[in-house]
């Protein structure tokens, strides 16, 4: 058992003890819940290594300096890429934001996200495409091409990619 796993087991014991009447079923329930958290963290880490940072809702609000209503509006307007996990929880692709403080949606991202919206409602194919070098963009990622100001070229590449997926 790794140190992290031991730490989670200790945490599970603490949670059960804090409930006031610990028994083995409570401990098993707490451990199962923590195992789910660990598995979610592993999946998040694997995706983050490929597509960049995945922001929690609170992190997205902090990075952009927005209210929840502003973030929700930006998602509906296809200015921010919301990612939906298998557990139904949301994350937000940092790849769609500038690196400035406060971060803003990258110029042209709205046009690209509109193209992908119908094909990829959970967002994972979109963020993978945004962060993967594309031959039609001279080996740049779509994100970098947008940052370089090549909005029409990226929009064409997005339409072509979505068309290939739909075929």
Give the structural domain span for 35.
Answer: 3-50
Enter the tokens of residue 43: 């999946």
One domain for residues 70 and 118: yes
Angle at 51 between CA 46 and CA 54, to 5 degrees: 80
Count of structural domains within the chain? 2
Mean of pLDDT over the chain: 89
pLDDT of residue 49: 77
One domain for residues 38 and 90: no
One domain for residues 67 and 145: yes
User: 7-30: per-residue pLDDT in tens?
Assistant: 877 877 777 677 776 677 777 777
User: 115-132: per-residue pLDDT in tens?
Assistant: 999 999 999 999 999 999
One domain for residues 84 and 132: yes
Q: Which residues pair with 84 in a beta bridge?
A: 90
One domain for residues 37 and 69: no
pLDDT of residue 26: 73
């Amino acid at each position: 058992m790794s140190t992290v796993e031991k730490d989670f087991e200790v945490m599970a014991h603490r949670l059960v003890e804090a409930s006031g009447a610990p028994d083995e079923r409570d401990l098993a329930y707490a451990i199962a819940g923590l195992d789910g958290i660990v598995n979610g963290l592993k999946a998040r880490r694997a995706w983050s290594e490929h597509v960049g940072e995945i922001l929690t809702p609170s992190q997205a609000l902090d990075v952009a300096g927005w209210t929840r209503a502003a973030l929700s509006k930006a998602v509906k307007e296809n200015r921010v890429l919301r990612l939906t996990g298998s557990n139904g929880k949301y994350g937000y692709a940092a790849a769609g934001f500038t690196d400035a403080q406060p971060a803003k949606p990258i110029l042209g991202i709205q046009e690209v996200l509109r193209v992908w919206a119908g094909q990829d409602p959970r967002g994972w194919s979109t963020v993978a495409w945004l962060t993967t070098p594309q031959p039609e963009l001279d080996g740049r990622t779509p994100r970098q091409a947008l940052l370089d100001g090549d909005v029409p070229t990226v929009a064409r590449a997005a339409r072509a990619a979505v068309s290939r997926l739909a075929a």
